[in-house]
Amino acid sequence: MAAEKVLVLCATGKVGRNVCQALAEAGFAVYGTTRTSPEKLRQQGVTPIVCDYTKAEDLDRALAESGATKLFVITDYFGAAGRKVAREVQQGRQAFEAARRAWVQHLIFMSVADAECFDDKTEHIKAKVQLETELRASGLTYSILRPCAFFENLDDASNWNPLKRGVVKFLSDQPIKYCSTYDIGRAAAILFQNPQEWAGRSLDVISWQGDLAALARALEAVSGEKVRHALAMPIWLRRLLLNDLHHMFLYFERDKGPKGEPEAFRTVVPDALSAEDWFRFHNRYANGEPIVSA
């Protein structure tokens, strides 16, 4: 039987790349959108569709060209939406409308865990709440994945936090709930394979909880080298320079959100990645050196 076709939007990003990998491993024929990097996707075994997901006509063409009956929707607040809530809502809505025009059988939207619980200053999460509401009313067959903080933030050179040998840094040193973008993809595969069970439902993607010291211990265990930990910047500077993210962290730190627990996610993805697992899976520092030598 031919593999079922899935189209992943924003396939070259931190989420998209690993979602494509997990879906391909689960046996789907994976198509991914990119504006400029088809070769990157090809090397990963993903069929590239050159497409700007912010343009309705590109989305229509991507769905027609791929023949995908399943669609994984990622919206990009910081880049594509230019940090504008209304623009991210418009971009997400356009993807839902394109899915309807193409008779997509199952759409998964990547939102954020407890999106409705963040305070009014947490701008970058507001569009997710609105898009979840619109999706529920859309008539589409949908599911929603709601991830917490990505482990990938621990190696994010484009946001001034490259992972370096011997040190792990983040914007909070408090206990926080994490997940890997790979597990977002593994969960998506399960949801796409079981539409009757998952249609109209959401799932929090949470696989581990710990503070920065525990993250350093995890990297130490995996690398076999001493690892120190440090805040990427003092909290007063986080408040001053990254006020939006600062307020997201207040929900994590002060309110101990999100409410979901790793044990619940493990009932769906039993081997969801812990911090140690993620360092092994990621297996590279920002300079390309492996964490675990072969």
Ligand X SMILES: NC(=O)c1ccc[n+]([C@@H]2O[C@H](COP(=O)([O-])OP(=O)(O)OC[C@H]3O[C@@H](n4cnc5c(N)ncnc54)[C@H](OP(=O)(O)O)[C@@H]3O)[C@@H](O)[C@H]2O)c1
Cα–Cα distance, 244 to 219 (Å, whole number): 28
Nearer of residues 105 and 244 to ligand X, judged by Cβ:
244
- Rounded least distance, CB 279 to ligand X, Å: 16
- Rounded least distance, CB 269 to ligand X, Å: 16
| Residue 283 near ligand X by CB under 6 A | no
- β-pair type (176-179, 5-8): unpaired
Window 42-61: residues binding ligand X (CB under 6 A):
52-54
| Residue 150 near ligand X by CB under 6 A | yes
Window 59-78: residues binding ligand X (CB under 6 A):
74-77
Tokens 């009014």 locate to 120
CB-based contact 7:68 (threshold 8 Å): yes
CB-based contact 176:211 (threshold 8 Å): yes
Count Cβ neighbours within 10 Å for each residue of 265-288 and write b for 16 or more, e otherwise: beebbeebbbbbbbbbebeebeee
Nearer of residues 19 and 140 to ligand X, judged by Cβ:
19
- Rounded least distance, CB 147 to ligand X, Å: 4
| Residue 14 near ligand X by CB under 6 A | yes
Q: Identify the bridge partners of residue 142 per DSSP, sorted by sequence position.
A: 107
**Which of 6, 15, 145, 216 is the binder for ligand X (CB under 6 A)?**
15
Amino acid sitting at position 205? V
| Residue 209 near ligand X by CB under 6 A | no
- Rounded least distance, CB 154 to ligand X, Å: 10
CB-based contact 214:275 (threshold 8 Å): yes
**# residues contacting ligand X (CB under 6 A):** 25
Amino acid sitting at position 245? L
Least Cα distance to 61 among 33, 96, 20, 90 occurs for 33
The binding site for ligand X (CB under 6 A) comprises 10, 12-16, 34-37, 52-54, 74-77, 79-80, 112, 124, 147, 149-150, 153
